[in-house]
Amino acid sequence: MGAGRAVSRPPGFGTLVESMSGYAARTGFADREPALPPTALADMVAGLYGAMAVLVALREVEIKGGRGQVIDLPLLDPLFSFIATEAAIYRLTGEVRELTGSRSETTSPRNVFRTKDGRYIGISASIQAMAERLFRAIGHEDMLADPRFRTNTDRVRNAEACEAPIVEFIGARTLAENMGVFERAEVTAAPVYDIDQFMADPHVIAREILVDLPDTDMGQLPMHNVIPRLSATPGRLRLPAPDLGEHTAEVLGALGLDRAAIDELARDGIIGLAGGMP
């Protein structure tokens, strides 16, 4: 099977990778500093690549036999693959592109818009028919005849002017009012959820995307469910991650150490036991 080779690295190393990969330089707005992702994105992306690599290595052994192979998987390569087209664009144009925020460089209108009650809506009218629906929904069917907005290429070139009536329309209405209009018009629009909205969404609740697990401090700890879910072996979460040292005594006991030896290791500070000394 595939094998990993552990290499020590300093805390926050993923942040360095997110900076050096070029990912942060493509995230944010032109008039502000680049934006680092608020999660351990480099680690997560590499983990997904790693899981697939293990499956490929296992399949190789199943088909051809052998002893398996070492999987060479750093953090930098996987994250760069998410923006790999930047290299070809730079080679072709010789220019470093400016940041565009939530606006697309290939389709318009596509952006995030603030509602009257301080929420946000994301809209992507990436095909001609959707742009036409959107303009009609906000009462600006006349934009369809305007040469600045007639085609997607025209709209991309005039993105700010194209979005101006959308900003005005959405800003004059609450999130619920806007979504009512867009749902009736079948426009590809969705709320930009804060976590409170996500947790209250009927779809999220019905799919059990979040599950509550017992926790000594919180009573119930919400966690994301198993992803993906297989039809025959969907799996389930039974317990949250253990406390630091929670299973130390159990593991060392299975390796042959008696309780006295384990307690001595704990007193000497060599190991830690959850809850301290018994």
CA 226 to chain centre: 16
Q: Which residues of 96-132 are buried (b: 16+ CB within 10 A; e: fewer)?
A: eeebeeebbeebbbbbebebeeebbbebbbeeeebbe
Running DSSP on this structure, what letter comes out for residue 24? G
Of 31, 43, 215, 243, the active-site residue reads: 43
Please identify which residue in the block is written with the tokens 């919400």.
222
Give all strands (DSSP E) within the chain, no chain letters.
110-114, 120-124, 189-191, 210-215, 219-224
The amino acid sitting at 179 is M
DSSP string for residues in 159-203 = HHHHHHHHHHHHHTS-HHHHHHHHHHHT--EEE---HHHHHH-HH
43 classed as catalytic:
yes
Q: What is the CA radius of gyration of the chain?
A: 26
HEC string for 218-271? CEEEEEECCCCCCCCCCCCCCCCCCCCCCCHHHHHHHCCCCHHHHHHHHHCCCC
177, two tokens? 């009012």
Q: With both helix axes pointing from N to C terminus, report the angle between 13-20 and 41-64 in degrees, rounded to the nearest 10.
A: 90
Backbone torsions φ then ψ of 189, nearest 5 degrees: -135, 145
Catalytic positions, written as ranges: 43
